[in-house]
Amino acid sequence: MDTILVTTDLSARSDRAIARAAQLATDLGAELHILHVSDDDLPAALVDRRSHEAETALEHMVAEDDKLSVLKPKISVLRGGAAGVIGRVVAERSIGLVVLGSHRNRGLGEILGEPTLSRILRAIKVPALVAVGRADQTYRSAIVGWDESPASEQAFNLTRKIAPDASVELLGAWHEPFIAGPYGMVEVADSGIQTLQTQVDAAAERLSTDGRRVSGKAMSGGPGDVLLRQAKSENVDLVAIGRHARSGLTRLIMGDTARNVALFGECDVLVAPPS
């Protein structure tokens, strides 16, 4: 994670992303890149003017912020679609982590289509951090979505890297089976939740190293819902989740848990790419 890219649309949401990226770049000794993408669907003269204004605004931001200026970040203002440009920059510059501002609902266009944040997550093959909270301190607590997969293991390892001092909880989700009863669908009593708790506890024990204890918890429900609910209940700073390499019908049936948590999380969300 030698190079960090933070993207900005010059909004307050993006300011938080820049602050978090600067904090991580300082702690990790990483090079920082700041990117603004200008929509090239607009008239050329308007794109030229907005691009110049964006570059000037970013230069002023860096000059006026001591934490940013000492990092001497590389500022880029490029034209095109956000997902395509960001994906290209990540590949060309060997970016190790992309930091993004939180999702903004753009109304009917995104109800009918795909949110920009979701398109960006699909376009990049490196870890992504959606910055929601204030970056005035390092992470103190984190929940890692746990399903015994390489993706969840990678999510844990990345959490340890960007939040070395945070308390970490592994959280497993169990879907209770249902059968048809005389009055509708009824829940089947099963030892599944107890089995999952045993597995999560074993993983937590294995990952508790260097005096840093990891806890484990198993809960009933869909993984996305469980993660979002528990993160809010425990008021954690960070949720980490692995993104599985699914596509087509499988993705449609299983749902994209990482995408939903990134879109609707009320704290920072770290998304680890498929192994």
As a whole number, the mean pLDDT across the chain is: 87
Burial level of 26, CB count in 10 A (0-12/13-18/19+)? middle
Task: Please indicate, yes or no, whether residues 154 and 115 belong to a single structural domain of this protein.
Answer: no
The structural domain count of the chain equals: 2
Domain co-membership, 148 together with 268 = yes
Which whole number is the average pLDDT over 70-99?
A: 96
For 227-253, what is each residue's pLDDT tens digit? 999 999 999 999 999 987 554 443 433
Enter the pTM of the model.
Answer: 0.87
Residues 147 and 268 in one domain: yes
* Torsion sign across C-alpha atoms 47, 50, 56, 57: negative
Residues 149, 101, single domain; the answer is no
pLDDT tens profile 198-238: 999 999 999 998 888 999 999 998 889 999 999 999 999 99
Its domain, for residue 262, covers 141-272
**Which residues lie across from 178 on neighbouring strands?**
187
- Same domain assignment for residues 96 and 158: no
Q: How confident is the model over 111-124, as a mean pLDDT?
A: 79
CATH of the domain at 34: 3.40.50.620
Residues 264 and 201 in one domain: yes
Q: What is the pLDDT of residue 116?
A: 87
Q: How confident is the model at residue 186 (pLDDT cuts 50, 70, 90)?
A: very low
**Cα dihedral sign, 185-191-192-193:** positive
pLDDT > 60? residue 4: yes
Residue 107: is its pLDDT beyond 60?
A: no
Does the structure show a pLDDT above 60 at 120? yes
Residue 136 in any domain: the answer is no
Q: What is the pLDDT of residues 17-63, one digit of tens each?
A: 999 999 999 999 999 999 999 988 878 888 899 999 999 999 999 99
